[in-house]
Amino acid sequence: MLVRKVQNYQKTRKHHWELSLALWCVGLLAASLVPALLSDIGVASLIANQIVALGFDAERTLFIETILLTLMSSLLVGLLFQRRSFAWLGSLLAFSLGYLFPFIQQAMHPGLSPTGQAQVLIPGAFAGVVATMIALASLFAGAGAVLGQALGEVLISPLIKLGASVLATKPGHAFVSHPSSVVGPLPSLLIGSFVVSTVVISATGVSSLLTYGPTTNLYRPVQSAFSGAVTSGKGTLTYGTFNSPALGGIQRSYWIYLPPSYATNPGRRYPTMYLLHGSPGGPGDWFQAAYANTTADALIAAGKMQEAILVGADGNGPVYRFSEWANSFDRRQRMEDAIAQDLVHFIDRRYRTVASPDYRAIGGNSMGGFGAVNIALHYPDIFHGVMSLGGYFQAEGVVYGTGPGSDAYRQFNSPSLFLHTVAGKKAAALLTFIIGVGTTDGRYYHDGMAFYQELHSMSMRVHLLRDVGGHSWRLWAKQLAEVLPALFPLPGSGLLH
């Protein structure tokens, strides 16, 4: 009898192990295949379209889309199988095979820099990006697994238990439900959501990855890849603050690039370009993501542009964070005046600039591309050259007010409309425009082309840069390398001025 019980126990244990193994295999397979299934039924395209509508380029869109599919896959498998472990591992495996490994393989083959120089991979930056990707995928897969299992326990387990109880209930015995079986998983659901949210928000490197893209800061030119590289002929990049009366006397930050001869030639003065960031963004974006300083160094060394000062401005407003680089309708935030008046006057006093509109330019990307054109049209006595890369040309956002009362103000702050007013035509005639577009940049491409055609039809000084690419720093970095020689040409070069 004892031997028989032992044999039965061993058989039961073996059967349980085989069943668990089979369940693991099925669960891992399901978690690995669900992202592909979601793509086939159009979920991935729907997600991608929504992300692109927010202004993300193809590189960042693919990463965000894959992360969200990882979350959804893990959640569905956790919900159906009631197992966190293989829901998490299977979804992470799908992310690695479908995105991470191809990304690593592609990143190992650097292209050329914006100025056409060969580049090498920066090991530390590459390791940081890969680690951030793995951390994010793990967090989202884990979040999906926890939430999926918790939801399954709330929604599915009670139904299964109810059915089992009904079948097992004998005549004359009332079925008694247990509320705890439904309420029990809720604390873990809430705690899991809280933990995952806090970890995701505080994850290192996420902001840079989502703002600039996975590959933006992975490379550097070959000649600066070694510690013994020659450092002569390079400008200086620094940052500081200035007081802004237009914004109530608060201190505002800026980044500034001083060209190679600035420190050694104290009698020389330099033309200046003000660089405006997109949304979200900050004053260092053009130097961190578009390599404005190293690009200028390379162009100056190659004799393709004259030395110039580059200033990165801060467009994050104290009242309206997404300022559109404009004076708000309610006058509570005069961001346009803070740039065109306060910052320009401060830079002219603090640094050796040529304080003349003929030697002063303004440019930006996306929201900054809009802001640069809008500010220049309002201040043609301050700026001469204007660069708009991936920009738009009609007023957007709450800063311009709402309702019919703000219609005239929106028109005044919509370059494509203001251009057709007497004041707009007069201002545009004093400016030189460079409009940069990417052929895969959706509505920004169409907006840029339409504005270029308007300027061209009105016989304004305008130059078009049209390249393959989307709403990305990779494209804007390349186009900046074309803009700088055009706005700051060497004497006799025949380029724009």
Which domain, by its residues, includes 312?
Answer: 230-487
Q: What is the pLDDT at residue 194?
A: 45
Does any domain span residue 495?
no
Classify burial at 411, counting beta carbons within 10 Å of its beta carbon; exposed 0-12, middle 13-18, buried 19 or more.
middle
User: Which of 180, 212, 244 delimits the end of a domain?
Assistant: 212
Residues 38 and 186 in one domain: yes
- Host H or E run for residue 388: strand 385-389
Does any domain span residue 337?
yes
Q: What is the pLDDT at residue 227?
A: 33
Joined tokens for residue 155: 């929604």
Residues 30 and 77 in one domain: yes
Does any domain span residue 225?
no
Residues 376 and 461 in one domain: yes
CB under 8 Å to 301, separation ≥6 — which residues? 233
The Cα–Cα gap between 411 and 400 comes to: 10
CB under 8 Å to 342, separation ≥6 — which residues? 242, 243, 244, 245, 246, 247, 252
pLDDT tens sequence for the chain (497 residues): 544 544 444 455 545 555 555 555 666 666 667 777 777 777 777 887 777 766 677 777 888 888 888 888 888 877 777 667 767 777 888 888 888 888 888 877 776 667 666 777 777 777 877 888 888 888 888 888 888 777 766 655 555 555 555 555 555 544 444 444 444 455 455 545 544 554 554 455 666 667 667 776 677 665 443 333 333 468 999 999 999 999 999 999 999 999 999 999 999 999 999 999 998 889 999 998 888 999 999 999 999 999 999 999 999 999 999 999 999 999 999 999 999 999 999 999 999 999 999 999 999 999 999 999 999 999 999 999 999 999 999 998 899 988 788 899 999 999 999 999 999 999 999 999 999 999 988 889 999 999 999 999 999 999 999 999 888 888 999 999 999 999 999 876 555 55
Residues 186 and 283 in one domain: no
CB under 8 Å to 49, separation ≥6 — which residues? none
Does any domain span residue 217?
no
Residues 360 and 391 in one domain: yes
The Cα–Cα gap between 480 and 460 comes to: 21
User: Which of 212, 239, 272 delimits the end of a domain?
Assistant: 212
Q: 80 — phi, psi (to 5°)? A: -80, -40
Kindly provide the residue ranges of all beta strands, DSSP E only, lying in 226-293, ordered along the sequence.
Answer: 236-244, 250-258, 272-276
Residues 56 and 126 in one domain: yes
Residues 269 and 412 in one domain: yes
Residues 129 and 240 in one domain: no
The Cα–Cα gap between 98 and 460 comes to: 49
Residues 242 and 99 in one domain: no
Does any domain span residue 151?
yes
Q: 393 — phi, psi (to 5°)? A: -140, 20
| Cα within 13 Å of Cα(428), Cβ side | 26
387: left (phi over 0), alpha (psi -120 to 50) or beta: beta
Residues 238 and 369 in one domain: yes
SS3 365: strand
Residues 140 and 247 in one domain: no
Q: How many domains does the chain have?
A: 2
The Cα–Cα gap between 407 and 400 comes to: 9
Q: CATH number of the domain at 312, please.
A: 3.40.50.1820
- Report yes or no: 54 and 322 within 8 Å, Cβ to Cβ: no
- Angle, in degrees to the nearest 10, between helices 2-40 and 58-81: 150
297: left (phi over 0), alpha (psi -120 to 50) or beta: alpha
Does any domain span residue 496?
no
- Host H or E run for residue 15: helix 2-40
H-type helices in 184-273, by residue range?
A: 185-202, 206-212
Does any domain span residue 2?
no
| Cα within 13 Å of Cα(40), Cβ side | 5
Q: 2 — phi, psi (to 5°)? A: -65, -40
Does any domain span residue 266?
yes
CB under 8 Å to 51, separation ≥6 — which residues? 60, 61, 64, 65
Other CB atoms within 10 A of residue 467 CB: 16
Residues 128 and 184 in one domain: yes
The Cα–Cα gap between 374 and 494 comes to: 27
Q: Is the peptide bond before 489 cis (omega within 30 degrees of 0)?
A: no
pTM across the whole model: 0.75
User: Which of 212, 247, 267 delimits the end of a domain?
Assistant: 212
Nearest to 129 by CA among 164, 172, 98, 99: 99
- Host H or E run for residue 301: helix 292-301
